[in-house]
Chains A and B, each alone.
Chain A
């Protein structure tokens, strides 16, 4: 049994290095134990990493693209799954085109969930402004589901290049001082500022842009699951907006009826709404 010890949860280089050596030596997937950090090794494993230094291997580009994302997943078996897939791809390079293959599909599902987490982080991070000696600094608290923090840094440095900002997470932090990026240890929610006066203005916007006559909570939930709510200031309004929606809609309809005063009209039943799974359009394209 070979034991590979990876430096971090997102140690893509470590995995690639080890996988290359093991594959060159023809080590089968069930003979490798993958571990992150100092976690205690399997009782029957060899204590030291014992794979040979790797030679050159060629795999389709699409495999590396898939692996680089899927390996950021929090699934503990991901290293082994990707190594097993690597061995098959080396024998059968066309495998990457066969989306009906069950193992490839499982890895693709991991990759898709990671991609979604990356996208949702870009969408749902909320900075709060604070002041220090050098002026304004923007700090966010965010809880990603997978190990995507480093992989997502480029988006934030590209967009907020001229701001000083930090993104704090339970697994580590990113700090940008306007010129370079540094990393910090795990943080807690209390390390981020607890308020920002602009959030009240943002809530005003959120409340006003909502159309009560179009209530479709399931569509909202499928794109913005509740697990993200706790770190988004606007979501505190959702219960009251939903509770008041039907009444506001009926009142508008009622007031437009010329003879409304004469007879209280029976309200129309709720019209069928598109199901959220089919109503989902491409991101930001509706």
Chain B
């Protein structure tokens, strides 16, 4: 086998990293390199420096240190039994690549993960070394996200949190049965134990910062996780329940969903299909409802069909509204914030603007129209100064009126 040059390795190790959905660079505390000797800054809101034709943002250089792995997880392109070509970066190569890209304004920072080689501790050491070198040798002040390995020594995981803005551990699959079947070497208690340890360390770090101004920061952007959707039998209702449990127990910043996507040289255990992108999208919307719209997990679950799946043709907020019509119509001039947030078609910014504007005037439908993108969808659910949906919410065929007419296929 010919020796790979840097670009050759990058091709393999970026290809192997693309199934991780997270590319967020938001939530970091503000810092820059003014008057310093290093490079980089974080603004708090994150920047997408490019988009690929899959519509995903490139914010971070997202790569694996190596795609060799001693585990044999069926959904993973890097599993031991796959005959994909293997490559490995040295810590120094990753550091230089990150800086080369950063100086040209291609990226916000680095998201580093790895297959497990030799042992979890050895692998974790290598990952930590990259982050340490960036921060200490090069005074890098951009964003660093490290994937941590559940079975590694807690001291190493702690070192990761000291250098990184964000750390994550993948829960992999929404159900324990799925994990046992598809990732036999991984264990749910060990994964959750590591998340719990991380949560404690993050809280301790915050607490220390309150007492001592110069206490080191610990993963200031918190921890996140990812689960694969569509590789096991979990329903949307299961997934929503699992995600909300994770948010509560481990104070996660984000749960990412990754639609199980065809990989080269797939395992025979998992026949490939087209990735369930619409399903993934509906799950993200349901995640939004819980995080920003005040929906309880049980309410999102109630929006699912009898088979436990969220409808694919309408969004979960509209699905909930159609199921619980008694809650509507909502008076845009009187209803509290919580109820306005329930109206299909009203986003958080529109609700904020409505609350401010209605102190000045009694809002008409046209006024509402100026604060939202479209009133067609929300009209049946809203009362305005000049508008009352005459028994519209009672009509049997309401869903036909508000559903998107047809699905347009993309032609390529």
Which A residues lie at the B interface, using CB under 8 A?
Answer: 94-95, 97-102, 105, 119, 122-129, 138, 140, 155, 157-163, 196, 198-202, 204-220, 223-224, 232, 234-235, 238, 241-243, 245-246, 249, 252-253, 255-258, 268-274, 276-279, 281-286
Contact = CB atoms under 8 A, between A and B. Distances in A.
Interface residues of B, number: 91
B61 A205 contact: yes
Interface stretch (B171-179, B193-201, B268-276, B319-327): B268-276
A206 B50 contact: yes
The interface centre, meaning the residue of B43, B48, B261, B354 with most chain A CB atoms within 10 A of its CB, is B48
13 contacts: A98-B357, A98-B360, A125-B105, A161-B33, A204-B11, A210-B52, A216-B54, A253-B262, A253-B272, A256-B262, A256-B272, A271-B276, A277-B373
B331 interface: no
Nearest to A119: B47
Interface of A is mostly: helix
Contacts of B14: 204-205, 208-209
A286 B17 contact: no
B410 A138 contact: no
Sorted from nearest, which 10 A-B pairs have the closest CB atoms? A219-B55, A284-B46, A158-B32, A216-B55, A100-B367, A99-B353, A208-B14, A274-B281, A214-B54, A252-B262
B23 A97 contact: no
A86 B313 CA distance: 46
Contacts of A129: 103-104
Given A123-B47, A269-B409, 8 more contacts: A209-B18, A210-B53, A213-B262, A219-B54, A241-B52, A272-B278, A283-B45, A284-B23
Given A196-B104, A200-B7, A218-B410, A242 B53 contact: yes
A162 B6 CA distance: 26
A285 B108 CA distance: 13
B37 A162 contact: yes
B412 interface: yes
B53 A213 contact: no
A119 B57 CA distance: 14
B276 A126 contact: no
B311 interface: no
Contacts of A211: 18-19, 52, 54, 56, 261
B133 interface: no
Contacts of A276: 55
Contact of B277 (A122, A198, A218, A273): A273
A109 to B, nearest CB: 10
B214 interface: no
Contacts of A198: 100-101, 104
A272 B312 contact: yes
B293 to A, nearest CB: 14
Contacts of B274: 213, 249, 253, 268, 270-271
A163 B356 contact: no
B36 A208 contact: no
A219 B57 CA distance: 10
Contacts of B247: none
A228 B18 CA distance: 24
B360 A97 contact: yes
B359 A271 contact: no
A276 B277 CA distance: 12
Interface string B252-278: 001000010111111010111111111
The interface centre, meaning the residue of A162, A245, A255, A282 with most chain B CB atoms within 10 A of its CB, is A162
B356 A98 contact: yes
Interface string B22-43: 0111100000111111111101
B112 to A, nearest CB: 14
A200 B97 CA distance: 12
B277 A100 contact: no
A218 B262 contact: no
Contacts of B266: 252, 255-256
Contact of A208 (B10, B100, B359): B10
Contacts of A252: 262-264, 266, 272
B53 A220 contact: yes
A127 B105 contact: yes
Interface in B36-78: 36-41, 43, 45-59, 61-62
Contacts of B390: none
Contacts of A99: 353-354, 356-357, 370-371
B188 interface: no
A270 B407 CA distance: 11
Contacts of B6: 201
B105 A140 contact: yes
Contacts of B101: 198, 202, 205
Contacts of A95: 360
B250 interface: no
B370 A284 contact: no
Given A214-B55, A217-B55, A253-B274, A102 B48 contact: no
The interface centre, meaning the residue of A160, A235, A245 with most chain B CB atoms within 10 A of its CB, is A160
B39 A162 contact: yes
B261 A213 contact: yes
Nearest to B359: A97
A138 to B, nearest CB: 6
Contacts of B270: 256
B284 interface: yes
B21 interface: yes
A209 B46 contact: no
A223 B410 CA distance: 18
A219 B278 CA distance: 13
Contact of A284 (B97, B108, B359): B108
A277 B108 CA distance: 25
B104 A285 contact: no
B106 interface: yes
Given A206-B58, A284-B46, A274 B277 contact: yes
B315 A278 contact: yes
B100 to A, nearest CB: 5
A286 B43 contact: no
B370 A258 contact: no
B15 interface: yes
B278 A271 contact: yes
